[in-house]
Amino acid sequence: MKKISLLLSLFIIFSCAKDSSELTVYTSRQPQLIEPIVEQFTNETGIKVNLLSGNAQELMERIDIEGEDSPADIFMTVDAGVLWQAAERDILAKIDSEILNENIPAHLRDSKNEWFGLSKRARTIVFSSDQFKDNDFSTYEDLADPKWKGKLCLRTSKKVYNRSLIASMIDAYGFDKSKEVVSGWISNLATEVFSNDTNALKAVSSGQCGVTIVNTYYLARLLDDPEYNNLSLFWANQSDRGVHVNISGAGVVKTSKNKKNAVLFLEYLSSNKAQDFYASANKEYPVLIGAKIDESIENWGSFSEHTINVSKLGSLQKEAVFLAQEVGYK
């Protein structure tokens, strides 16, 4: 009997040790964008990280179905709206971490600390320098003015990035005023909406339209090619609420058997070393104040950002979808 108890104890100790040396991350981020950081983390801590990539909605569904048996320790994705949905589905754990609270500004994390922003994604105005100059622009709302008729290109509203932008306007101005703005955008479209930001940028560069609204890292990637050097960035709404900022981020899965190391991983991703790398590899902006900005985007200068708590981008998402449908924004 004692022998059986001893073997059982050894099995439990071995199992716990095995669990504590590995993490499983369910992520909708492209693996190549996070694998180098994961490798650094493993080298420094000895904790192996397994990545399971897929569509964010499908990964959340999988965590739900797997329940207590889910191997997922961390859910990582882009857009605060998606992370808000994960919290609403009760699949994330509340985390108490002084390091995360210190490294990540309050408006870039969930108010209940169930998820945290790990990089910032600024969505702003990009225009053709062949057609316009900086002083032609001011705000997102100004692009609804009839003077821009036939000049505007947009990505589809079905993409969560634009839903979050609309949600931020609803928070700032209310539903009716925001509806007027988005309706004006649709009236000013030069062409059908695009499936992605890159195609919208290419349309501006080619003269198919003159201005668009995109995430800045898409522009940074395109500018590696001299063919697109007529694209210029303008920081929107600098005289009022500031540029719309979204996040990529993550939370610890509620059913994780390995929460301590899961929190350690998130803390590592918010550290100076990881933030520097995160920003340079993805051409996004770090959430950690003082972390380096990639040289390719440094010449765009600093900007004032909208400090709405990003969780509101999720809570107002349904209203944003309804608004887009109301005005025919496909």
| 155 compared with 17, residue with greater pLDDT | 155
Both 207 and 322 in one domain: the answer is yes
Domain-located, residue 143: yes
Domain-located, residue 225: yes
The helix (H) or strand (E) run that includes residue 124 is strand 116-128
Domain-located, residue 151: yes
DSSP H stretches of helix in the chain: 2-20, 31-45, 56-66, 80-88, 98-103, 160-173, 175-187, 197-206, 216-222, 259-269, 272-282, 295-298, 312-315, 317-327
Domain containing residue 222: 121-244+310-327
Both 197 and 319 in one domain: the answer is yes
- Using CA atoms of 143, 148, 151, 156 in order, give the dihedral in degrees to the nearest 10: 30
Strand partners, 119: 248, 286
Tokens 């005023």 sit on residue: 177
Residue 272: per-residue pLDDT:
93
Domain-located, residue 301: no
- Asked if 253 and 75 count as a contact pair (C-beta separation under 8 A), the reply is yes
Please state, in angstroms and rounded to a whole number, the distance separating the CA atoms of residues 187 and 1.
Answer: 80
Query: Average of pLDDT values for 208-231?
Result: 96
CA torsion sign for 258, 263, 266, 272 is negative
Total domains in the fold of the chain: 2
Question: CB neighbours (10 Å) of residue 72?
Answer: 24
Both 289 and 180 in one domain: the answer is no
Both 50 and 86 in one domain: the answer is yes
| Separation of CA 179 from chain center | 24
The helix (H) or strand (E) run that includes residue 247 is strand 244-252
| Cα dist from 155 to 80, 159, 196, whole Å | 18, 8, 6
Judged against a pLDDT cut of 50, whether residue 12 lies above it is answered with no
Sorting pLDDT into bands at 50, 70 and 90, what band is 282? confident
Both 66 and 207 in one domain: the answer is no
> Any binding-site annotation on 161?
no
Q: At what angle do helices 259-269 and 272-282 cross, to 10 degrees?
A: 60
Both 203 and 321 in one domain: the answer is yes
Strand partners, 25: 51, 74
Judged against a pLDDT cut of 80, whether residue 297 lies above it is answered with yes
| CATH number of the structural domain spanning residue 206 | 3.40.190.10
Domain-located, residue 65: yes
Both 199 and 163 in one domain: the answer is yes
Both 173 and 218 in one domain: the answer is yes
Percentage of the residues of the chain whose pLDDT score is greater than 70: 94
- Asked if 139 and 147 count as a contact pair (C-beta separation under 8 A), the reply is no
> Any binding-site annotation on 217?
yes
Both 181 and 86 in one domain: the answer is no
Residue 20: per-residue pLDDT:
55
- Closest to 323 measured CA to CA, from 204, 199, 130, 174: 174
Radius of gyration of the chain (CA): 22
pLDDT tens string 122-177 = 999 999 999 999 999 999 999 999 999 999 999 999 999 999 999 999 999 999 99
Both 73 and 183 in one domain: the answer is no
Mean residue pLDDT across the chain: 92
Cβ burial, residue 15 (10 Å; 0-12/13-18/19+): exposed
List the Cα angle 4/7/9 in 5-degree steps. Answer: 110
Q: By mean pLDDT, which of 10-14, 81-85, 255-259, 313-317 is the weakest?
A: 10-14
Domain-located, residue 303: no
Domain-located, residue 305: no
Residues 6+ apart with CB under 8 A from 1: none
Cβ burial, residue 11 (10 Å; 0-12/13-18/19+): exposed
Domain-located, residue 81: yes
DSSP state of 225: S
Query: Average of pLDDT values for 231-259?
Result: 97
pLDDT tens string 51-95 = 999 999 999 999 999 999 999 999 999 999 999 999 999 999 999
Both 61 and 208 in one domain: the answer is no
Both 114 and 135 in one domain: the answer is no
